[in-house]
Amino acid sequence: MGIYFAIYYRNLTTDKDEAFRRAAETWARTREGLCEMVSVTYVYELIAAFRHLAYVAHESRQTYDQGALFAHSSPPQRANDTSRGVHLASFKPKTLAELHYREDVLTPQGLDNDTLTPSLMSQLACLPWSSDAKLYIYGCLSGTGSAPIAKLFADHQRVTTIGQTGKAYFSKSPYVYEKIGAEDKTIHLKAFYRPLNAALDVLETISGNVAEIPTVLWNRPMPERSFVPTKK
């Protein structure tokens, strides 16, 4: 039996209800075995989280069966897109020491912004995966665009990666959209057939045409999109 991990965005200033954490914990409870939970706020912390996960796997001499990332995201339009990707918080120094850290450490590495862009993905540690492992990217439109986030992760991590084909919503049920409350401990993050997704023209058929949405599908989950690593 392998191990699992869930990385989630945490920012008590903008996400006081910690919905990302609750969704990650819900996902972890459905897995059998050890699940490493890691919270991140800034891009450099996400990079550190992958280094930590690589260390955990090395020390335990195990491979990852599944992993999941819960965060804001938007689809890159090209491989060198500098504004889209996995969105976290901007690092805003509050002390002189933090200012020096940003200017001397983060800025030279391009880590002083709020987005893990395609070019920064190369800084993530490549994790050891089992032969049938899967990585899930639970964020808006993570499986869409000309350079899908999930595809970028698949190629970098060399693992099958699952992305969302629409704007992702927090829901009490994984089978039909149900608005969450602050006290709900079991919540899910995924794309549902909702009006905003239709407005964004992300409801596409396999042929690439915008699909007519049958009434019966409204508030139901949208199909996820799977990406395999490009052969080298």
pLDDT in tens, the chain (232 residues): 689 999 999 998 888 889 999 999 999 999 888 899 999 999 999 999 999 999 999 999 999 999 999 999 988 877 777 778 899 887 777 788 877 677 777 777 776 788 898 888 899 999 999 999 999 999 999 999 888 999 999 999 999 999 999 999 999 999 999 999 999 999 999 999 987 777 665 444 444 444 566 777 889 999 999 999 998 7
Predicted model pTM: 0.89
Q: Which residues, in sequence order, are CB contacts of 34 under 8 Å at separation 6+? A: 3, 4, 60
Please list the helix, strand and coil fractions of the chain in percent, rounded to the nearest 5, in that order. Answer: 30, 25, 50
Is residue 14 within a helix (H) or strand (E), and if so which, with residue range?
A: none
Is residue 5 within a helix (H) or strand (E), and if so which, with residue range?
A: strand 3-9
Residue 35: its pLDDT value, please? 92
Q: Give the separation between CA 144 and CA 24, rounded to whole angstroms.
A: 22
Residue 111: its pLDDT value, please? 67
Residue 69: its pLDDT value, please? 98
CA 47 to chain centre: 13
The three-point CA angle 195-72-143 to 5° equals: 65
- Check residue 166 and report its DSSP letter: S
